Amino acid sequence: MSAGAKICGLSTPETVKAAFDGGAAFLGFVFFAKSPRNLTPEAAARLVEPVRGRGVKTVAVTVDPDDALVDRLMATMRPDLIQVHGKETPARVREIAARAGVGVIKAFSVSTTADVDQAAAFDGVAEHLMFDAKPVEGSALPGGTGARFDWGLLSGRRFSRPHFLAGGLDPWNVAEAITVSGTPLVDVSSGVERGPGLKDPALITAFLDAVKRAKD
Ligand SMILES: O=C(O)c1ccccc1N[C@@H]1O[C@H](COP(=O)(O)O)[C@@H](O)[C@H]1O
């Protein structure tokens, strides 16, 4: 069975359509002021309307979200999942899931085996775990930078629910990343862009085709 894919940082109807038509399992929308992909919850609500209830899961990507943002997202965009990409604890992940009434994707910054090990405390708490590359020192963004980590660190790792590999994936390397890591889910942002925050429908299609062809 091929891996499932999340296309992250969508901001136009054309790129939402390309991701949906290409068979993405998850569509991600970013709510982080420093990101070139930042949206308002109201803008994201308009973007997800055409695909709501059509089998694809929508994801609100956040960094240490406060309760006000969680409430606003649930009142407008109504995502299927909330991704948290900051320093959230297992207790905070539980709280966000209970408050929102939807599952949480907890992201980790990885450069060593120990970084992967820390995820054990969230297994069974978060709906999905996501392993992303550690950003370079001083980066304004915790994700969406195109940085990669050693995919082999995930080889043989099993969790109670399917996990994501993220960080520096693109249409040309994703098949190898799936083979090396054995990951069931992949996530991409900058690797399907022609400039910061500018998603390219043709690159989205190429990425999803490469995922379908990959062998795990
Ligand atoms: O994409 C962003 O701008 C972003 C902002 C804040 C938190 C997370 C963000 N992106 C996440 O990082 C992964 C990997 O990005 P890339 O493929 O290396 O560019 C992305 O898919 C999002 O989940």
Portion of the chain with pLDDT greater than 70, in percent: 100
- Output the pLDDT for position 215: 74
Residue ranges of domains in the chain, CATH in brackets: 4-213 (3.20.20.70)
pLDDT digits (tens, 9 = 90+) for 2-36: 899 999 999 999 999 999 999 999 999 999 999 99
Instruction: Give DSSP secondary structure letters for 153-201.
Output: GGTT---SS--EEESS--TTTHHHHHHHH--SEEEESGGGEEETTEE-H
**Cβ neighbours, 10 Å, residue 101:** 8
Contact (CB, 8 A) for 216 and 180: no
Reported as a pLDDT band with limits 50, 70 and 90, residue 216 is low
Q: Whose CA is nearest to atom 23 of ligand 1?
A: 8
Centroid of ligand 1 to alpha carbon of 8 (angstroms) = 7
pLDDT digits (tens, 9 = 90+) for 165-199: 999 999 999 999 999 999 999 999 999 999 999 99
Q: Known catalytic residues?
A: 8, 132
Give the single-character DSSP code of 109.
E
Reported as a pLDDT band with limits 50, 70 and 90, residue 155 is very high
Distance, CA of 88 to CA of 64 (rounded, Å) = 6
* Ligand 1 touching residue 61 (CB < 6 A): yes
Show the tokens assigned to 100: 């929102």
Q: Whose CA is nearest to atom 8 of ligand 1?
A: 143
- State CA 30 to chain mean position distance: 9
Is the model's pTM score more than 0.95?
Answer: yes
Distance, CA of 126 to CA of 140 (rounded, Å) = 25
> Which residues on neighbouring strands pair with residue 27, listed in sequence order?
7, 58
Portion of the chain with pLDDT greater than 90, in percent: 94
* Ligand 1 touching residue 30 (CB < 6 A): yes
- The arithmetic mean of pLDDT across residues 127-142, rounded, is 93
Show the tokens assigned to 157: 């790792």
pLDDT digits (tens, 9 = 90+) for 99-134: 999 999 999 999 999 999 999 999 999 999 999 999
Show the tokens assigned to 131: 């392993």
Centroid of ligand 1 to alpha carbon of 145 (angstroms) = 7
- Output the pLDDT for position 40: 98
- Output the pLDDT for position 117: 97
Centroid of ligand 1 to alpha carbon of 79 (angstroms) = 17
* Ligand 1 touching residue 128 (CB < 6 A): no
Residue 66 has pLDDT above 80, yes or no: yes
* Ligand 1 touching residue 145 (CB < 6 A): yes
Residue 1 has pLDDT above 80, yes or no: no
**What is the maximum span of the chain, computed from C-alpha positions, in angstroms?**
42
Q: Which atom of ligand 1 is nearest to the CA of 35?
A: 3
- Output the pLDDT for position 144: 86
* Ligand 1 touching residue 65 (CB < 6 A): no
- Output the pLDDT for position 138: 85
Residue carrying the six token digits 């649930």:
74
In this structure, are strands 198-199 and 193-195 parallel, antiparallel, or unpaired?
A: antiparallel
